[in-house]
Amino acid sequence: MTGLLQLVFDGVVVGAVLALAAAGVSLVYGGLRIINFAQGDYMTLGAYVALGVSSGLRLGMVAGVAAATLCTSAFAVVLEPVLWRPLRRARAGVLSLFVTAVGLSLVLRQGILFAAGGGFQQYRVDAYSAWQVSGLRFPTEEVVAGAAALAAILTLATLLSRTQLGKALRGLADSPELTAISGIDPDRLAVVVWALAGALAGLSGVLLALVETSFDTNLGWDQLLTVFCAVVLGGIGSTYGALIGGIVLGLVMELATWSGFAGGVPASYQLVVAFVALVAVLLVRPTGILGRSRIL
Amino acid sequence: MSSVFNVQFWAYVGVIAGIYGILAYSLQLQHGFCGLLNFGQVAFMALSGYTMAILVVKAGLGLWAASAAGLAVAGVFGVLMGIPTLRLRADYFAIVTIAVGEIVEYLASNMTSLTGGAAGSINLLGPQNAASYDGAWQDAVSRVQSWLGHAIGSAATATVATMAVVWVLLVLVALAVWFLVRSPWGRVLQAIRDDEDAAAATGKNVFRFKLQVLAVGGVIAGLAGLLFAFESATISPTDYDPTITFYAWTILVLAGTTSIAGVPLASVVFGILFAGVLFFTFPPFSYLGSADRSYLQLMIVGAALILLMRLRPQGLLGNRQEMLLG
Amino acid sequence: MADAGTSGEARAEGGDVGGPLLDVRAVGVTVGGVRAVEHATLSLREGAFASLIGPNGAGKTSLLHAISGFYRPSAGEIHFGGRRIDGWPPHRVAASGLVRTFQRGRVFARLSCLDNMRLGARDHPGEQFVANLARPRARRRREAEVTSEARELLAAVGLGPKADDLAGTLSGGQRKLLEFARALMCRPKLVLLDEPMAGVNPTTGRQVMERIAQLHAAHSLTVFFVEHQLDVVMAMSDHVVVMAEGRVIKSGPPEEVRSDQAVHDAYLGSRRRREAVGRRGDEALAARAPGRDEAGLR
C-alpha cells in the first residue's frame, strides 16, 4: 500500500509539471493554430537558464526558477514578431507553421548543445534531503517542484476563468472567427499567448529538471511526446483539458508500474502505457476529455 | 574524412537522399493528395525493415519473399492504425501519429527476444551469433555494379550501384504516384483533401479511401524502410528515429506538397544541404571541434527550414496561387 | 407536447401522388447538447419544388444535416423512397439518391470544374482501388461517359467555358451552380439545397435559382431548399414548410402559408425575442445580417 501511495505522489508531481508544458502547447494551438514542436526545447532552455543563474551566477534556486520562467517567456515573445507574425500575414497553413516549429526546435536544441555542451548537469541542491513519513519518502525537490507546479496550475486556471483576457483566450480556441469579429487585436493576443506559453514551458522545464535531479539537452525533447499526449488526452485547444490531461497521464504512467497491478509494467514501457491510455480515451471520446465535438 | 570531390561520398548521400525521397512520396500521396497529416511514417519503415530481417534470420525465408512480407505488414499496419485514429479530427490524428512513430521505435528497443533489442538486428540470434539478412541484396547490387561497369568503368562501385537501384525505384514510385493521383481513385483522394464533407455529400466513403491511402502510403514507406535496412546491412531501433519522418516532410515541403516532379529535386537539395555542412572546414567553422560542427550542422538545417517557410511556403516547384485556394 | 397532428403540429403533406418521396417523422436533433430540432414532421411528394423557411435558430439547417446523414437524429425516423435512412452515414444517403449542397457553396477548390463534376458520378469502377488497376477498359469507358455527361451539365448551368479552370477560382454564384450541377451528376431523386442564394448578390442569387428551377423541370427532380429570401420562396416554390423553435409549425402551398397567423407570430415573436435578449455571444454570428429573415413578410 505504501508503494501505491508513493507512486500516486510521484505521479502527481510529474503530472503537474508536464501539465504546465501541455497547457502552453494548448494555448498556442488554440490561439494561433501552431503545433509548437519546439515546446520541449523551450523547456530545456528554461532548465539551462536556471542552471546558469543558480549555479553559474550563484544566485540560488529561487532566482533560477524565476529567471527560467521570465527568460523563456521573453524568448518566446521575441520570436513572435520575428518569426510567427510574418507567417500569419502570409496566411501560412498549419503545415508551414508546423515545419517552422520543427526547424525552430532543431535550432534551439542544437544551439543549447553548442552553448552548454553535452553531458549531464545538476543543480546545486541537496539531492538526498527528503522527508520520511511512515515509510513514504518525499524528496525535498520533488515536494517543492510539485507544490510550485500546482500553484502555477491554480494561478493559470484562475487567470483563464476570472480575467477578461483569459476568457478571450478560451474563446479563441473554440472559435477563431468569433474572436476575429469581437475586435481583439490578433497581434497583441499572439504576444500574450507566447508570453504565457513561454513562461509555462520555462517553469515546467526547470521543475522537471529538479524532479529528475540530473538532465541534459534532451530534457524537454524527451518529454515532448508525453506533453502532446497530455494535450490530446485533455482535448486539443482546451487549456483546462491539458492541465487535467497532464496530471492524469503522470498518474497513469506511475501507477502502471505498481506491482499490485498484474506485477506492474516495466518502467521502460511507461511511454507505451501513456499511449495506450490516450488511444483508449480517444476511442470513447474522439475529442479528448474536455474537447468540443465538431459542429458543421 | 571526405572531400568535396569524393564520388563515393556523394553517391552515399545520393542513396540516403533517394530513400528519403521515396518516403517523401508516401507522405505526398497521403498529405499532398489526401490531406492527411501523418508524422509517424517512420513506423512503417521500421515495421517493414524489421519484418524482413526477422523473417530472413529467424524463419529462414528468402530475402525477396521476406521483403514482400515486410511491405504487406506495413500496408496492413496502415489499416490497423487508421481504424481507431481516422475518426479523429485532423489535428488529433497528426499528434497521434507522432506517438505511433515513437512507440514503434520504443517497442523495437524493448522487445529484445523478437527484435534483438537496442543492439539491433545483429542480435537477432543472440549475442554470440551475429545475424545478417542482406546476402541476396549484396549479390543483386554486385550484378548491377558489373552492368554499370561496362558503361562507366571503375566509377561503378557498390555505393554507386546502390544509388542507381534506389533512384530507379524512386522513379518507379514517382510513376505509380503519378498514375494513382491522375486516376479516378486519386481524384476522390483530392476531393477529400479539398473538402471532406462535400466528398461525403457526393457519396464517397471518406473513411474507406483514407484507409486505402494509409495502406498504400504504408507500403511505399515500407519500401523506403527495406532499402534503409539493405543499405546499412544491420538495423537498430535508433536507425528508424522519428526525426526521419521530419526529414521526409522537409523534402515534401521543399518540393511543394503536390509537385511530383519536385520530390527528386528536393531530395537532392536536401542531401546537399545536409551533407554539405560537413565541408564547412573554413574559418570560422574550422575553429570548432567536430562535435560543435555537427551541432551547427543540424542548426543550419533547422534555420534553412524556417527560412524556406518564410520565403517559399509553396516549395521549390509548388504553385502559391493554387496553395491559397480555399 | 409532442403529439403530431394537434394545432401547433401541422403535418406537412406535399401532395398525395404515389406516396411521399421523403418522410420525416417526429425527428429530434441535438447539437452540442442543445436541442436544435425538437419534433419535426414533414413529407415531400415526388417532383415537388419545396422550400423550408423559418426564423434564425428555427433548426432548418440542423434538420437538413439530419436528413442528409451529417447529424444523427436523437429521435424519430426518416424515410426516403420507402427506405428508412436515419442513422446512415452521409455517403450512403447520397448514394441512395438524396444529395445535398452546402450554404457556402463547397466545391473541391484545387480540382478543375470538370473534375468536380466527374466526382459527382456514381458507380465509377475507377474509383475503386482494385478495379482502377485491374479493369482499365471498364474505367476508361465509364470515364468517357461521365466526362461527356459532365460537360453537358456544365454547359446547362452556364459553366461550359470554365470546365478546365480550378473550382477555387470561381465566384460565389458560380460555386453554387457548380455544386448544384455536381449534385445532379449522380442522377438523384431528391436534392437538398442549403440557402442557394446566401452569400451572393441578389441578382446572381436569382439567376442561380432560375437555373435550378430549369433543371428541376428538365430532370424530373424533387428539390427541397432552405432559403431566407421569402419573396423568392413564395414566388418559386410549390410547397412551403415553416419551422420555428425546432418544430414544423405550418406546411402548405405558398398562398396558404403567407396568410397564416402562426407563421406571422413566429417571425415577429422571434424578432422581439432577439431584440430583448440583445446580442449574446452565441448569437453574434447569426445576428450579423439582422432583419434578413423578415424581408418577405413585411
What distance in Å separates residue B188's CA from the closest CA in chain C?
7
* Residues of chain C contacting residue B201, judged by C-beta atoms under 8 Å apart: 68, 70, 90-91, 94, 99-102, 106
Q: Is the pLDDT of residue A64 over 80?
A: yes
* Residues of chain A contacting residue C65, judged by C-beta atoms under 8 Å apart: 296
Whether residue A116 lies inside any domain: the answer is: yes
- C-alpha angle B159-B162-B167 in degrees, rounded to nearest 5: 125
Per-state percent for chain C, helix, strand, coil, to nearest 5? 40, 20, 35
Whether residue A102 lies inside any domain: the answer is: yes
What distance in Å separates residue A180's CA from the closest CA in chain C?
11
Q: Which three cell numbers stand for residue C250?
A: 405550418
Report helix, strand or coil for C102: coil
Region class of B178: left (phi > 0), else alpha (psi between -120 and 50), else beta: alpha
Report helix, strand or coil for C35: strand
A275 in reach of chain B (CB within 8 A)? yes
DSSP state of C95: H
Q: From CA C47, how far away is CA C21, in angstroms rounded? A: 9
Segment C134-140 shows an average pLDDT of: 94
- C-alpha angle B271-B274-B280 in degrees, rounded to nearest 5: 125
Of A96-105, A109-118, B13-22, C212-221, where does the model show the most confidence?
Answer: B13-22
**Which pLDDT tens digit goes with each residue over C44-87?**
999 999 999 988 888 899 999 999 999 999 999 999 999 999 99
Segment B4-33 shows an average pLDDT of: 91
- What lies within 8 Å, CB to CB, of B43 at 6+ separation is B77, B81, B100, B101, B103, B104, B105, B240
Give C 136-195 residues with CB within 8 A of chain B.
139, 143, 166, 168-169, 179, 182-183, 185-186
Average pLDDT, chain C: 83
Name the residue among B103, B253, B302 with its Cβ closest to that of A107: B302
pLDDT, residue B202, reads: 95
In a mutational test of the A interface, the residue from C72, C100, C285 whose CB has the highest number of chain A CBs within 10 Å is: C285
Name the residue among A181, A292, A293 with its Cβ closest to that of C284: A181
Question: Regarding predicted confidence, which is higher, C268 or B301?
Answer: B301
CA B210 to each of CA A227, C56, C167: distance values in angstroms, whole numbers, following the listed order: 27, 36, 23
DSSP state of A124: S
Whether residue B136 lies inside any domain: the answer is: yes
Sorting pLDDT into bands at 50, 70 and 90, what band is A180? Answer: low
Question: Look-up: residue for cell 548521400?
Answer: B13
Report helix, strand or coil for C134: helix
Q: Is the pLDDT of residue B1 over 50?
A: no
Q: In angstroms, how far is the first alpha carbon of chain B from the final one? A: 50
The chains found to touch B (3+ Cβ pairs under 8 angstroms) are A, C
Its domain, for residue B206, covers 7-241
Contact yes or no for B190 and C183 at CB 8 A:
no
Q: Cα A156 vs. chain centroid, distance in angstroms?
A: 13
Q: From CA C53, how far away is CA C242, in angstroms rounded? A: 5
Give B 97-136 residues with CB within 8 A of chain A.
98-100, 102-103, 106-107, 109-110
What distance in Å separates residue C125's CA from the closest CA in chain A?
31
Contact yes or no for B197 and C101 at CB 8 A:
no
Q: From CA B85, how far away is CA C133, in angstroms rounded? A: 27
For the ranges A247-261, B103-117, C246-260, the lowest mean pLDDT is seen at A247-261
Whether residue A265 lies inside any domain: the answer is: no
Number of domains chain A contains = 1
Segment C136-149 shows an average pLDDT of: 95
Its domain, for residue A202, covers 13-221
Contact yes or no for A296 and C70 at CB 8 A:
yes
| Pair type for strands A136-139 and A130-133 | antiparallel
Question: Regarding predicted confidence, which is higher, B287 or B139?
Answer: B139
Q: Which three cell numbers stand for residue C152?
A: 453537358
- C-alpha angle B157-B163-B167 in degrees, rounded to nearest 5: 150
* Residues of chain C contacting residue B199, judged by C-beta atoms under 8 Å apart: 108, 119
**ipTM of the shown complex:** 0.86
For the ranges A224-233, B155-164, B304-313, C124-133, the lowest mean pLDDT is seen at B304-313
Question: Look-up: residue for cell 498549419?
Answer: A94
Exposure string (b/e) for A82-110, b if CB count within 10 Å is 16 or more?
Answer: ebbeebbeeebeebbbbbbbbbbbbbbbb
Name the residue among A171, A178, A293 with its Cβ closest to that of C32: A293
Sorting pLDDT into bands at 50, 70 and 90, what band is B116? Answer: confident
How many C-beta neighbours within 10 Å does residue B7 have? 13
pLDDT, residue B192, reads: 96
Contact between residue C138 and residue C170 where contact means Cβ atoms under 8 Å apart: no
Report helix, strand or coil for A231: helix
Residue of A nearest to C65 (CA): A296
Report helix, strand or coil for C47: coil
| Pair type for strands A214-215 and A121-122 | antiparallel
Whether residue A271 lies inside any domain: the answer is: no
Nearest alpha-carbon partner for C48 in C256, C239, C258: C239
The chains found to touch C (3+ Cβ pairs under 8 angstroms) are A, B
Nearest alpha-carbon partner for C37 in C49, C46, C48, C28: C28
Q: Is the pLDDT of residue B289 over 60?
A: yes
User: Residue C112 burial by CB count (10 A; 0-12/13-18/19+): exposed, middle or buried?
Assistant: middle
Q: From CA A69, how far away is CA A50, in angstroms rounded? A: 9
Question: Regarding predicted confidence, which is higher, C277 or C227?
Answer: C227
Q: From CA B116, how far away is CA B157, in angstroms rounded? A: 31
Name the residue among C31, C71, C285 with its Cβ closest to that of A178: C285
Which residues of C lie inside 8 Å of A (Cβ-Cβ)? 31-32, 65, 70-71, 281, 284-285, 288
For the ranges A187-191, C182-186, C242-246, the lowest mean pLDDT is seen at A187-191
Mapping DSSP onto H, E and C, the string for chain B reads CCCCCCHHHHHHHHHHHHHHHHHHHHHHHHHHCCCCCCCCCHHHHHHHHHHHHHHHHHHCCCHHHHHHHHHHHHHHHHHHHHHHHCCCCHHHHHHHHHHHHHHHHHHHHHCHHHHCHHHCHHHCCCCCCCCCCCHHHHHHHHHHHHHHHHHHHHHCCHHHHHHHHHHHHHHHHHHHHHHHHHCHHHHHHHHHHHCHHHHHHCCCCHHHHHHHHHHHHHHHHHHHHHHHHHHHCCCCHHHHCCHHHHHHHHHHHHHCCCCCCHHHHHHHHHHHHHHHHHHCCCCCHHHCCHHHHHHHHHHHHHHHHHHHHHHCCCCCCCCHHHHCCC
**Which pLDDT tens digit goes with each residue over A143-178?**
888 999 999 999 998 888 888 778 777 766 665 555
Residue of A nearest to B35 (CA): A95
Segment A130-137 shows an average pLDDT of: 78
CA B127 to each of CA A261, B105, B133, B134, B235: distance values in angstroms, whole numbers, following the listed order: 32, 21, 16, 19, 15
Q: From CA B303, how far away is CA B318, in angstroms rounded? A: 21
Q: From CA A220, how far away is CA B100, in angstroms rounded? A: 19
User: Residue B15 burial by CB count (10 A; 0-12/13-18/19+): exposed, middle or buried?
Assistant: buried
pLDDT, residue C253, reads: 92
Q: From CA C178, how far away is CA A135, in angstroms rounded? A: 74
Segment B201-218 shows an average pLDDT of: 96
Contact yes or no for B295 and A105 at CB 8 A:
no
Q: Is the pLDDT of residue A285 over 60?
A: yes
pLDDT, residue B174, reads: 98
Whether residue A6 lies inside any domain: the answer is: no
Q: In percent, how much of chain A has pLDDT > 70?
A: 91
Name the residue among B183, B191, B322 with its Cβ closest to that of C119: B191
Give B 164-183 residues with CB within 8 A of chain C.
183
pLDDT, residue C24, reads: 94
Whether residue A241 lies inside any domain: the answer is: no
Segment B113-127 shows an average pLDDT of: 86
- What lies within 8 Å, CB to CB, of C26 at 6+ separation is C2, C4, C39, C40, C41, C75, C76, C77
Question: Look-up: residue for cell 453554387?
Answer: C176
Report helix, strand or coil for A60: coil
Q: From CA A21, how far away is CA A203, in angstroms rounded? A: 8
| Pair type for strands C49-53 and C222-226 | parallel
Number of domains chain B contains = 1
Q: From CA B264, how far away is CA B174, in angstroms rounded? A: 9
Whether residue B156 lies inside any domain: the answer is: yes
* Residues of chain B contacting residue C109, judged by C-beta atoms under 8 Å apart: 194-195, 325-326
Name the residue among B102, B246, B309 with its Cβ closest to that of A225: B102
Question: Regarding predicted confidence, which is higher, A246 or A140?
Answer: A246
Q: Is the pLDDT of residue A201 over 90?
A: yes
Question: Look-up: residue for cell 500569419?
Answer: A88
Nearest alpha-carbon partner for A122 in A57, A209, A223: A209
For the ranges B101-115, B291-305, C243-257, the lowest mean pLDDT is seen at B291-305
Q: Which three cell numbers stand for residue C295?
A: 424581408
Q: Is the pLDDT of residue C42 over 60?
A: yes
pLDDT, residue A225, reads: 84
What distance in Å separates residue B205's CA from the closest CA in chain C?
6
Contact yes or no for C285 and A177 at CB 8 A:
yes
B200 in reach of chain A (CB within 8 A)? no
A118 in reach of chain B (CB within 8 A)? yes
Average pLDDT, chain A: 85
Structural domains in chain C plus CATH codes: 20-107+188-296 (3.40.50.300), 108-169 (no CATH)
Contact between residue C39 and residue C247 where contact means Cβ atoms under 8 Å apart: yes
Segment C122-144 shows an average pLDDT of: 94
Contact yes or no for C110 and B201 at CB 8 A:
no
Q: In percent, how much of chain A has pLDDT > 90?
A: 34
**Which pLDDT tens digit goes with each residue over B28-82?**
999 999 999 998 999 999 999 999 999 999 999 999 999 999 999 999 999 999 9
pLDDT, residue C270, reads: 59
Q: Cα B62 vs. chain centroid, distance in angstroms?
A: 24
DSSP state of A163: S
Beta-bridged to residue C29, according to DSSP, are C37
Whether residue A252 lies inside any domain: the answer is: no
Name the residue among B92, B109, B306 with its Cβ closest to that of A103: B306
Whether residue B40 lies inside any domain: the answer is: yes
Q: Is the pLDDT of residue A94 over 90?
A: no
Q: In percent, how much of chain B has pLDDT > 70?
A: 95
Contact between residue B54 and residue B274 where contact means Cβ atoms under 8 Å apart: no
Whether residue A93 lies inside any domain: the answer is: yes
Nearest alpha-carbon partner for A243 in A255, A251, A231: A231
Q: From CA A95, how far away is CA A97, in angstroms rounded? A: 5
Q: From CA C118, how far away is CA B277, in angstroms rounded? A: 49
